[in-house]
Amino acid sequence: MSPGILGKKIGMTQVFRPDGQVVPVTLLKAGPCMVVQRKTPATDGYDAVQLGLLEFVKPQRLTKPRIGHLKKAGVEGAKLLREFPLRPGDGDLKPGDQVLVDQFKPRDRVDVVGISKGRGFAGVVKRHHFRGGGGSHGSMFHRAPGSIGASSFPSRVLPGMRMAGQMGHARVTVRNLEVIDVDTEDNVLVVKGAVPGPNGGYVLVRRAKQ
């Protein structure tokens, strides 16, 4: 049993449970993946498995070290590589083994990791949900951040102060999502709820901690 799988976000839709309840779901193109490398405590100091998502990639898009690394495991066309720590109960995976979506079943719980949509440079009202100032009566304090620290003490801006800056395009993990359905023919995993990132973005699906 693999600790997880790699894939792409297809998009959101909704499904109906047998009792008529509407469930918002996200479709994920999960796999096929292959084991590229096995990390062991004896050689690497920790126990993990490196998976590669099999997809068409032009050879010129891969570096020579990456091509040689993939060739050791007999893998071709793996642009995305990610490591999954192995926990007690996970299978003994070896380089060249395939990891398919059939390793999951309905009612399983998974964590989905992705890169959130980039929103560019944003102010404090949009980025941190500041209330802002008055909009009329001669107010000149509309969407400004306000005070960022005292002048006499400590005479500096404390670390972590919420300010305007880059919003989004960050690694986001959504935990404990329920697997609603598994389509083994088209390698599609249906999970309940929303998943970070745009449609077509890469995602990492790992088994949730029990």
Instruction: Tell me the pLDDT tens digit for each residue of 165-198.
Output: 999 999 999 999 999 989 888 889 999 999 999 9
CATH architecture entry for 4-117+171-207? Beta Barrel (2.40)
The CA distance from 4 to 99, in Å, is 9
Question: Is the CB of residue 192 less than 8 Å from the CB of residue 43?
Answer: no
The CA distance from 142 to 136, in Å, is 9
Question: Is the CB of residue 2 less than 8 Å from the CB of residue 206?
Answer: no
Question: Is the CB of residue 193 less than 8 Å from the CB of residue 23?
Answer: no
Task: Give 33's strand partners.
Answer: 53, 99
pLDDT digits (tens, 9 = 90+) for 154-171: 999 999 999 999 999 999
Question: In the predicted model, is pLDDT for residue 121 greater than 90?
Answer: yes
User: Tokens representing 73?
Assistant: 């495991």
- What percentage of the chain carries pLDDT values higher than 90? 46
CATH 2.40.30.10 positions along the chain are 4-117+171-207
DSSP state letter for 124: H
Q: Is the pTM of this model over 0.85?
A: no
pLDDT confidence of residue 165:
95
DSSP string spanning 131-191? ----SSTT---SS-----S-TTTT-SPPTT---SEEES-SEEEEEEEEEEEEETTTTEEEE
Question: In the predicted model, is pLDDT for residue 73 greater than 90?
Answer: no
pLDDT digits (tens, 9 = 90+) for 37-66: 888 888 888 888 899 888 888 888 888 888
pLDDT class of 126 with cuts at 50, 70, 90: very high
Task: Give 22's strand partners.
Answer: 16
DSSP state letter for 72: H
pLDDT confidence of residue 97:
81
The CA distance from 168 to 171, in Å, is 9
Task: Give 172's strand partners.
Answer: 114
pLDDT class of 210 with cuts at 50, 70, 90: low
Specify the residue for token string 């029990």.
210
The mean pLDDT of 63-77, rounded to a whole number, is 83
The CA distance from 28 to 174, in Å, is 14
Answer with the residue of higher pLDDT: 70 or 29: 29
How high does pLDDT run on average in the chain?
Answer: 89
Interior/surface letters 144-160, b for 16+ CB within 10 angstroms, e for the rest: ebeeeeeeeeeeeeeee
Strand 171-183 and strand 202-207: the pairing is unpaired
pLDDT confidence of residue 184:
87
